[in-house]
Structure 1
Amino acid sequence: MSELPEQTQSPSPAEVKRVLEAALLASQDAMSTGELKKLFEQELDHVLIRRLLDELREDWAGRGVELVQVSSGWRFRTTADVQPYLDRLKNEKPAKYSRAVLETLAIIAYRQPVTRGDIEDIRGVAVSPGIIKALEGRGWIDSVGYREVPGRPALYATTRRFLDDLGLRTLSELPPLAELQKVMEFNDAR
């Protein structure tokens, strides 16, 4: 078993790659390149870190686990094709969200920042405070300020966690709204 060199000398790219892999496998959360750079006493070039992360992604290609870049950084996750097998190990059922919760989340994601009043205007019905609390509790939305109108209603937007949980880097990776509407209509027909 090889030992890591003392931190007085610069680690080789192979050693850096090995440490990056271990840190990402051990972390439950995505790690930014800035966080990954902190693993080393010496200042490492951003380009080197990025190249080694791309190499790691290639090394893991075709396996049941993949390295992906999401909004808040890099993380390992299981591939979609093995997920049904892993789901058999879980005793818990995935969270089910009502149509009202999903519609509210979609409005916030596609129209952000929005107020509760904006959401109600689009949906045509009142938004229960429980819906906003559920989405905030999940870490998917947050208040990002206040609209400068009488009453100063809170403005809501999605969070990095929302993007991370969906495996997205940016909001531009969301599916087109028309595609989402077709899915909602299909589910209504069932």
Structure 2
Amino acid sequence: MAAEFDRDLDDLPPALRWREWMVRAEAVLFASAAPVTREMLARVVGRDCSIDLLIDDIAAGAEGRPWEIARTAGGWQIRTRAKFAGVIRAAAAVEDTSRPLSRGEALVLTAIAYLQPVTRAEVSRLVGREISRDTVARLSRAGLIARGPRSPEPGAPYTYVTARGFLEHFGLDSLRDLPDLEALEDAGLLTPGLSALPDLPLAGEDEG
């Protein structure tokens, strides 16, 4: 069946072909709970279709709508615009039970993001205090970090790395989008060695 699927649509005029590719891509984006990759979209559009231009046109059509297309985790995802969060919670009659990261959690997450793969002991030495297993467990349950390969140091402890949820949560396309560490230090937002928390979206209001 997949082999018979007409992606190129050569029998349609260019304008109609482009419109059909747009609605196909939009349907895939709406149906997916996770970011949609370029490879996924390529399965439903023709070989001559520019996926970047296609996404740009869909995004342009969303101007003024309550949703937007976000580039995240190596793909694209349709998201409700942040300003409508309260409206959605009110309609569903639910309370906002989420909480921001404590400064301690944000510091641990920042260290892991920049130094991964890194062990809990290495993070503890870096920040100058013991990092509890509970802190690591909370970040893991939130889908922000995951276990990495075992360290070659004695005892072969697990290392930790950022998970895909980290990119999705903070709207990053890849880890290359993290702010440059040296630039943060030069700007006074971060003291050398990650001993102070940067003024980044990673930080919550809760001092913890």
Q: TM-score, normalised by structure 1?
A: 0.79
CA distance in 1, matches of 2:7, 2:166: 40
Residue of structure 2 aligned with 1:85, choices 81, 84, 87: 87
Q: Which amino acid aligns with 1:181?
A: P
Give the drift of 1:9: 7.1
Q: Where do residues 1-190 of structure 1 align in structure 2 (5 Å cutoff)?
A: 7-8=5-6, 10-11=8-9, 12-39=17-44, 44-45=46-47, 48-89=50-91, 90-175=94-179, 177=184, 178=189, 181-182=198-199
Residue 18 of structure 1: CA displacement?
0.5
* Alpha carbons 1:24, 1:76 under 8 Å: kept: yes
User: Do the aligned partners of residues 159 and 187 (structure 1) sit closer, same or farther apart at CA in structure 2, a change above 3 Å counting?
Assistant: closer
Q: Once the two structures are aligned, what percentage of the paired residues are identical?
A: 28
Greater displacement, 124-133 / 22-31: 124-133
**Cα separation, partners in 2 of 1:185 and 1:26, compared to 1, 3 Å:** closer
**Equivalents in 2 of 1:70, 1:34: separation in Å?**
15
Aligned residues: 180
Could you tell me how far apart the structure 1 residues matched to 2:204 and 2:61 are?
A: 40
Deviation at residue 61 of structure 1 after TM alignment: 2.6
Distance 1:17 1:185, change over 3 A: closer
Q: Aligned in 2, Cα 1:16/1:109: closer, same or farther, shift over 3 Å?
A: same
171-180 or 69-78: bigger deviation: 171-180
The structure whose RCO (Cα within 8 Å, separation 6+) is larger is: 2
Structure 2 gaps of 5+ residues are 10-16, 191-196
Q: Is the 8 A contact 1:72 1:160 kept in 2?
A: no
**One-letter code of the match for 1:49?**
I
- Give the residue type in structure 2 aligned to 1:60: A
| Stretches of structure 1 lacking an aligned partner (at least 5 in a row) | 1-5
Distance in 1 (alpha carbons) for counterparts of 2:149 and 2:117: 9
SS of 1:143 mapped into structure 2: strand
TM-aligned CA deviation for residue 46 of structure 1: 7.2
